[in-house]
Amino acid sequence: MSTPALSLRRAPDATAVIVMVVLCAAWGFQQVAIKEANASFPPMLQAGIRSAIATVLVWLWTRSRGTSLFASDDTLGAGLLAGVLFGGEFVCIFFGLTLTTATRMAVFLYTAPCFTALGLHWFIAGEKMRRMQWLGIAVAFCGIALAFADGFLHADPNRASTLHGVAGDALGVLGGLLWAATTVVVRASSLAHASASKTLFYQLAVSAIMLLALAFAFDQTHVATVTPRALASLAYQAIVVAFISYLTWFWLLTRYMASRLSVFSFLTPIFGVTFGVVLLGEHFTLRFLIAAAMVLAGIALVNTPAKRA
């Protein structure tokens, strides 16, 4: 499957829109799946198994297509760094979800587009932010501040305690920051010229080793009673999210304009909040709803395409 030239990338058509909505729903459901599997698998072990399974699947996929993952191309250093950042993101997500709700994690984690815009502004020539994007970041960060205030003021029975819950919220923001840092490393390094499969393989393989090592180091290897729902949740994360959805996303980026696709990113926390409420019975206050709306508005403003002259 050849990669179209940059000049041939086009605005999303009906197929791309449908695929993006499905991807956002899949990503929004991920927090619910992690919560379900946490009942059987310790967070670090679960995250490590997820990355390990997806690593094998990506390797098999590239072999079936005759793509080499191990050819020397000066991407090793950048790949290792991207993998460590990717692994750190999932340390924050999986551990954070033991402290806070899937609903809140979905909002805090998906502040990543705002951090990405800031990082690209500082490290990538030609990615300077416009006034509309600065406004979006200001609105999103005000939403984050309001959501944290709500965490202190509102006692939620779905969270371990107020302080633990706020710590989980903070891990969600840190996860978003690490996600953004991974994106910036990929864009600003030799990985920008590597294949999507190789870039994804670096992130999954390094994170699998890192997360499994942390699981053994912190004695998170004891598996409780494994239920069919826990196994299904783990399989969903590894196969549907880490393998299929990521490769599909990279495929879309080879055919459609990234700036237009990124506009859909605000749908993911909407799906995440909806799934948390409907499937897990989580609750939120009016303050948090306003805060989430501010974060979503900020993401939409950050991803607003520039007007052509």
DSSP string, 46-87: HHHHHHHHHHHHHHHHHHHTT--SSS--S-HHHHHHHHHHHH
Phi, psi torsion values for 125, nearest 5 degrees: -65, 140
pLDDT band at 195 (very low <50, low <70, confident <90, very high): confident
pLDDT at res. 50:
96
pLDDT tens column, 92-146: 999 999 999 999 999 999 888 889 888 888 887 777 888 888 998 999 999 999 9
Average pLDDT, the chain: 87
Mean pLDDT value of segment 183-193: 88
Write the CA distances from 291 to 55, 103, 148, 304, integer angstroms. Answer: 36, 12, 9, 20
Mean pLDDT value of segment 141-153: 87
pLDDT tens column, 62-93: 999 888 898 888 999 999 999 999 999 999 99
pLDDT-above-90 percentage for the chain? 53
pLDDT band at 159 (very low <50, low <70, confident <90, very high): low
User: With left for phi above 0 and alpha for psi between -120 and 50, is residue 156 left, alpha or beta?
Assistant: beta
pLDDT-above-70 percentage for the chain? 92
Write the CA distances from 239 to 119, 292, 297, integer angstroms. Answer: 30, 29, 31
Nearest residue to 193 via CA among 275, 74, 52, 293: 74
